[in-house]
Structure formats: C-alpha cells, structure tokens
Amino acid sequence: MTIPVPVPSVGFWPATAMIAAIVLLSTTGEVLTAAAMKSIGDLDDIRAHSGMKGAIRAVVTCPLFFAGVSFLAFAFFSLLFALNHLNLSLVAPASASLTLVTNAIAGKLFLKEDVDRRRWTSAILVCIGVYLLAH
C-alpha cells in the first residue's frame, strides 16, 4: 500500500494560472473539435455513402479535428501538472465547472449556438460555487 504524499502549498496566483490553463486549453480543444465535426457533416450519411473507411477518412483528414485533439491533449497534461501541485478537491471541480462556463460562452461566440437562459443561469451558479470552493 502506498502512503499518500501531502501536496505542496502553492500560492493563489499560480493555482489560478494552472486552473485557467486547463480551462482555456479544454475549451479551445472542444470548440475546435465541435467545429471540425460540424464542417465534416453527418457521419451516418458519410458512412452510408462511403462506408466506415470513408467516415474515418473524413475525420482524420480534417485539420480542425487534429487541432482540437492537440489542445485537449495539452489540457490533459496541464491537468496532470496541476494535480502534482494542487489538491484534487480544488482542481477537479474548479476546472470542470469553469469549463462548462467557458464552453457556453465559446459556443455562443464561435459556433453561433443558441445558449438559453437556463444555461446562463447555471453558468452563474457554477461561478458562485467555484468562488465558495476557493474561499
């Protein structure tokens, strides 16, 4: 059995920067991946017309898809770095919930999605929850 090692204490601004890096990289990756999938079109239609190989080819030849996956990989490694320096009980809820907020904003701005009042309300409540978690 491994004995847990205490996480070293990090200041407010370094912790904020680590969580912000995870959130921004995740959001960028998810927006790019969503834009890629929208530009590719319906994979069921592609598969019906060109088979499974055609559907796979449509995805792997899309530069936006690889850009999105790259940003998501950087977000994952940023998460690992943050977990090395901060407590899981702060990093996981803060990064996941703030990603929800930034995804709503990015979806509205870049993907022209219809973000309704309920989603904006939940985003505000998430921000309040993250504030309470940090203090």
Phi, psi of 78 (to 5 degrees): -65, -40
91-107: pLDDT as tens digits: 988 898 899 999 999 99
Closest CA to 30 of 82, 4, 58, 65: 65
Q: What is the pLDDT of residues 61-86, one digit of tens each?
A: 999 999 999 999 999 999 999 999 99
CA dihedral 60, 29, 41, 113 (to 10 degrees): 180
Does residue 111 register a pLDDT over 70? yes
pTM of the model: 0.85
The model's pLDDT over 1-19, given as tens digits with 9 standing for 90+, comes to 566 666 567 888 999 999 9
Helix (H, G, I), strand (E, B) or coil at 42: coil
* pLDDT value, residue 43: 87
pLDDT tens-digit series, residues 43-65: 889 989 999 999 999 999 999 99
